[in-house]
Amino acid sequence: MQITRLDLHQFRRFEHVRFEPADGINLILGENGAGKTSLLEGMHLMAHGRSFRGRVRDGVLRAGADALEVFVQWNELTPTGLRERKAGLRHSGQAWSGRLDGQTVAQLGDLCAALAVVSFEPGSHALVTGAADMRRRYMDWGLFHVEHEFLPVWRRYNRALKQRNALLKTGRIQDGLDAWERELSEAGEVLTRRRQMHLDDLQHQLGPVVKALAPSLGQLELEYLPGWRRESLALGDALLLSRERDLQAGFTSVGPHRADLRVRYPTLPGREALSRGQAKLSALSMILAQGAELARHHGRWPVIALDDLGSELDRQHQGRVLQWLATVGAQVFITGTEAPSGFGAMAATVARFHVEHGTVRASPAGT
C-alpha cells in the first residue's frame, strides 16, 4: 500500500496543504510546530477514524474553521495489478461524511477498513502501560483488516450492548432483556474467539520483530483477558449472574467490551518495572508486528508512520528500526527536527521533505 497524495484542509495549522510522498522511506523534517506530526495525523485519521492526539473537535480542526477535510490517494497491489484508490473525509468535530473511490460511505468503519496505516508516536507507550481501551482498539483494528466478517460481528455486539445498557438504566428488564442478552452472548463469544486467534497470530509475528528491534526485551508475550471468567462460564451465564449487580450499576460489567490484553515479559520483572523506553520499544514492536500480520494476510504492507523517532528511541535502537524497515519494503513516514541516525548506506535512497510556512516541499538528498 503506497500513498501517492495527501491533502489536508483546515487541519491544525494547515489551511490547505498537499503532500506527494515517494514509495519507500519518507523523511519529513521541520522545526518544532511546523506541522510534521499533523501530516501523519491526517493519514491516521483516515485509517482509524480518530486522531492519535485526541478528538477532532479538541484541536485537530483549524482554529476558526467549520470542518476539516482529508483526502488520500494510494496504490494497492491486487492480483490483477496496481489499483488506484481514493478516500475523502470531511469532519466538523460533530458530524462527518466520507467518500471512497467515488462513492459515499455510510459508516466511518468502511474508510478505516480500506486504508491501512500503523502509527507509532510519542503517546504509543500507553499501548503497554495505559488504559485497556487502547489495547482493545489495537486488537480490533487489526481484525478489521484481516477479517472482513469481523466488522459485522463487532457492530452486532456493540448494538446489543447499547440495548442492554439502555434497559438496565431504566430498569425495564421485561422489555426484551433476555433477547438482548442472547444476542450479546452469541456475538460476544464469536468476537472473543476471533480476538484470541488474532492474538495468537500476532504472537507469531512478534518474536522475530522483538529479536530484530529490541533483543534486550527478551520474550514478549500477549495474553488475552476476555472480560469475564471464561475458563468457568459461558458469556450468557456470566451475563445472567451479573444481572443484579448490573441493574444497580446501570451498565454491563462483563463481556468483551471489558477485555484486555496483558503484555508479559518472562525475562523481565514486570510491566510496572518497565522503563519508559522499554514500554516504547514494546509498543513499537507490537505495532510493527501488526503490520507484519497484515502483510502476511494481504501480501502487502500497511503504511508505517513513525512520529519523531529520533527523540523516542536511543541511537542504537533507531539504527535497528531503520535497518529492519529497509528490509520489509513498506512505505514509511518518519518525522523529526533532524534526520535520525542509522540510515547508513540507504541514506541516499530516502526521500526527504521539509515542512515550513504551512507547506511541504521535497528537499534534495542529504539536506
Give the residues lining the site for ligand ATP (CB under 6 A).
12-13, 30, 32-38, 59, 61-63, 308, 335, 337
- State the minimum distance, in angstroms, from the CB of residue 47 to ligand ATP: 17
Q: In what order do the strands lie in the sheet with 68-78?
A: 14-19, 2-11, 68-78, 81-91, 96-100, 103-105
Residue 345 labeled ligand binder: no
Residue 252 labeled ligand binder: no
- State the minimum distance, in angstroms, from the CB of residue 11 to ligand ATP: 8
CA distances from 269 to 76, 118, 133, 363 (A): 43, 29, 24, 46
The residue (of 17 and 259) whose beta carbon lies closer to ligand ATP is: 17
The strand pair at 303-306 and 117-120 is best described as: parallel
Q: Which residues pair with 109 in a beta bridge?
A: none
Count Cβ neighbours within 10 Å for each residue of 238-247 and write b for 16 or more, e otherwise. bbeebbeebe
The strand pair at 2-11 and 103-105 is best described as: unpaired
The residue (of 21 and 30) whose beta carbon lies closer to ligand ATP is: 30
Residue 69 labeled ligand binder: no
**Residue 71 corresponds to which cell in the numbers above?**
483526502
Distance (Å, rounded) from C-alpha 103 to C-alpha 285?
36
Distance (Å, rounded) from C-alpha 287 to C-alpha 50?
17
Distance (Å, rounded) from C-alpha 321 to C-alpha 342?
9
The residue (of 62 and 198) whose beta carbon lies closer to ligand ATP is: 62
Q: E strands, 198-264, where?
A: 221-225, 260-264
First to last CA, the chain: 27
- State the minimum distance, in angstroms, from the CB of residue 29 to ligand ATP: 9
Residue 280 labeled ligand binder: no
Residue 197 near residue 268, CB atoms below 8 Å: no
Residue 34 labeled ligand binder: yes
The residue (of 35 and 342) whose beta carbon lies closer to ligand ATP is: 35
- State the minimum distance, in angstroms, from the CB of residue 327 to ligand ATP: 27
- State the minimum distance, in angstroms, from the CB of residue 138 to ligand ATP: 23
The residue (of 226 and 310) whose beta carbon lies closer to ligand ATP is: 310
Distance (Å, rounded) from C-alpha 39 to C-alpha 303?
13
- State the minimum distance, in angstroms, from the CB of residue 234 to ligand ATP: 47
In whole angstroms, what separates CA 157 from the centre of its chain? 21
The residue (of 17 and 220) whose beta carbon lies closer to ligand ATP is: 17
Residue 96 near residue 90, CB atoms below 8 Å: yes
Residue 132: which of 255, 229, 268, 273 has the closest Cα?
255
Residue 30 labeled ligand binder: yes
- State the minimum distance, in angstroms, from the CB of residue 322 to ligand ATP: 19
The residue (of 59 and 344) whose beta carbon lies closer to ligand ATP is: 59
Residue 14 near residue 89, CB atoms below 8 Å: no
Calculate helix-pair angle for 177-213, 150-170, nearest 10 degrees.
130
- State the minimum distance, in angstroms, from the CB of residue 272 to ligand ATP: 29
Residue 365 labeled ligand binder: no
The residue (of 61 and 304) whose beta carbon lies closer to ligand ATP is: 61
Residue 310 labeled ligand binder: no
Q: Show binding-site residues for ATP.
A: 30-37
Q: Show binding-site residues.
A: 30-37
